[in-house]
Chain A
C-alpha cells in the first residue's frame, strides 16, 4: 500500500465522521419498512395509515411512550448481553434461556425471605437473577473454552433445558399421572390446572419510576440504562474490556499479549448471561411479579437484532431497543387504526435483522461505494488482509 492512500482515507469532515456509522443501519431500517409497505400494498392495505398508527402507538401519548419504555427495558439488557458476547467473538444464542433462569431465580427470592427490608429484598432478587443467568451461560462458556464445543449449539440446547426447567418449577401437576406440582407452583392456580407461580412479596418489587406520569414504567429501565453505562465503561475504560476486545479480535494476538483466553471466554459468557438474567429479573420484579410459562424468553432472540442494529455499542443498543420496543408497543394501535395485522411488525423486525446483518445488500441496493479498509476492519473486527 502506498503512503499517500492512507491519508486520503481519513475523513476530514465532522459530518462524515458522525454519519458514516449510521448510514447502513438507517438504510437497513428504511429498507425493512419499505418491504413492509410493499407487503401491505400487496395485501390491499394503506401503508401510510399503518405506519402513522404505528408511530402514534409507539410515541403518540404518554401511554404509548410508557408501553415503548416498558418493552425497551428488557431489550436493552438482552441487546447488551448479545453485544458483549460479540465483542469477544462469541455467539450467545442462549439469552432467552438465561433470561428464564434469571426469571426463576428472582421469583424464588421474591417468594421467600418475607420481612426483608424492601431495598435489600429487591437487591437480592436482582442479584439472584443475574447469578442464575450467569451460571447458565457460563456452562456454555466453559464447554467452549475447555472442550471446544460450539457455544452456538450448546446455548440453543440450554435454552430448551432452561425452558423445561422453568416450566417444571411452576408445573401445576399432572391430571392423569402422579407427577407432583413444581416447587414454585401456586397451589390456588394449580387447583385450576394452571401452571404459574404465586405473586412475589411486595418488598421484592421494583418501584414504578414516575407513577403519576408514566404507566407501569419501573426502575428496571434505570437499571438497564445503568448497565449500558457500565458495559460501556468496562469495554472502554478497563483492562478487562481490552482483554475481551483482544480475544474477540484475534485469539492468537491475545495469546501473544499474555491474555488467558479460556478464562476470558468463561467470564464474558457469564457477564452476558448475567445481563440476560437481569432482563428476566427486572421484568419479573417490575412488571409481571410472577412466573408463568407464557413468559417465554423471546426477548433473548430480539437481543441479536438489537445488538447488530446498535452496532454492538451500548448507546446504539439503547437507541435500537427503544426502536424495537416502539415497534412492539405501536403494533396494536397500528392494527386498530389501519386493520393491518400487528404481526407485520415481526416481519419488519426480521427484515431489519437481515438488512443490518448484510451491509453488502444495502450497499448493492443503494450503490454505495465499496467500504474502505478501515470500515471493513470495523465491520468484521478482524484484519481484512492476509499476511
Chain B
C-alpha cells in the first residue's frame, strides 16, 4: 500500500464523517483546484495533494478552528447562538499569555500548564458573560455575541504591553509506537499536547453529545426546551453551564495559538478564526466529528493552496481559492449544497410560566 493510498483512505474517512454537504464541497474544491491548474503541469505537482507538510499544516490550522467550532456546538446545541467565539479565543490567548509571562520563573512545563488553565478560564469567563447577557438580561444573542467580540478585542489590546515577550512553548512529542506508522504517525501522532487534547476532545464530545445524559438533555433544550421542562429539566441552568464550558473550549483555542503555535501573543491574533469556526460548525452540521472534518478540510485547503503557490503551479489568484470555504458555507446554509439543520430553539429566550 503506497503512502498516497493510505493518505487518501484517511481523507475518505474524514470525508465520510462530515456531512453530505462537505463531501460535495470537497469534490467542488478539488475540481476547482484541478481546473485552475491549466498553466504549468510540471510533473510531481499532484504529490503536493498528499504531501505530509500540507497535511501537517492542515492539522495545525484545524485545531483552533475545531476548538472554536466545539464552543459553538456546546452553546448552540443548548439553544444559545454564539457569534462571540472570536472574542473568546482572543481572551483565551491573552489570559494564557499573561499567566505564561508572569510564571516565567517556574519550570517551563508548569508555566505552560498554568497558562493553559488561564486560557480555559478566560474563555469560560466570557462564556459566562454571554450566558448572563442572553439569559438573565435577555439581550439579543447576536448583539451579545458582537459585544463579546468588541469587549475582548478592546480589553486585550488595552491591557497588552508590546514589550512583553515570552519564551518557550509546548514542544511536539511523538506518541510511542503510533508515531511509527508511516505518514499518519508523522501527521497525527507527532504533535503538541493541545493538539492531542483537541483530538481527544472531539471524540469525547461526539460520544458525550450523542450518548450521555448530559448530551441528551443538551440536545433536548436546544430543540424543544418546553418538552425538556415538562420532564423536569432545568433549561436555563443547563444553558449557563454549556455556554460557560463552550467559552472554556474557545479559550483553549486561544491557548493553542499562544502556547503551541506561535509562542507569543499579538493583538487580534485570533484573526477571524472564531468566525471561520462558525462556518466549520455549520459545515459539520453541529456535530463535533463533522466540525473537525470541516476544520481539517479548511486547513487542508489553505495548506494545499500555499504549497501550490509556492511550487508555482497555479496562476489562479489565491484570494479566490481562499474564498471557497466562505462561499461553500453560504451555499450549504442556503440549502444549495447538502443539508444542515440548526437546533430549532436557538436564539430564543426560554421562560417558564
Chain A residues near B (Cβ < 8 Å)? 39, 91, 93, 143, 147-150, 152-154, 156-161, 164-165, 167-168, 171, 174, 176-180, 182, 301, 304-305, 308, 341, 343-351, 353-354, 357-358, 360-361, 364
Contact = CB atoms under 8 A, between A and B. Distances in A.
B140 A171 contact: no
A346 B158 contact: yes
B315 A161 contact: no
Interface SS majority for chain A: helix
Given A160-B272, A304-B143, A357-B143, A168 B314 contact: no
Contacts of A179: 309, 314-318
B328 to A, nearest CB: 9
A55 B297 CA distance: 50
A342 to B, nearest CB: 9
Given A343-B157, A347-B154, A349-B150, A158 B326 contact: yes
A312 to B, nearest CB: 12
Given A171-B317, A357-B143, A346 B275 contact: no
B330 A360 contact: no
B24 to A, nearest CB: 17
Contacts of B40: 178
Closest 9 CB pairs of A and B: A346-B154, A350-B150, A168-B319, A347-B154, A343-B158, A147-B334, A350-B151, A343-B157, A360-B137
Interface in B140-188: 140, 142-144, 146-147, 149-151, 153-155, 157-158
Contact of A157 (B133, B150, B326): B326
Contacts of B131: none
Contacts of A143: 330, 333-334
B313 to A, nearest CB: 8
B335 A147 contact: yes
Given A156-B83, A346-B158, A171 B144 contact: no
13 contacts: A153-B333, A160-B326, A171-B317, A174-B309, A346-B153, A350-B147, A353-B146, A353-B151, A354-B133, A357-B147, A358-B133, A358-B137, A360-B136
A171 B319 contact: yes
A151 to B, nearest CB: 10
Interface string B36-57: 0001100000000000000000
A41 to B, nearest CB: 14
A378 B140 CA distance: 15
A332 B154 CA distance: 15
Nearest to B335: A147
Nearest to A304: B146
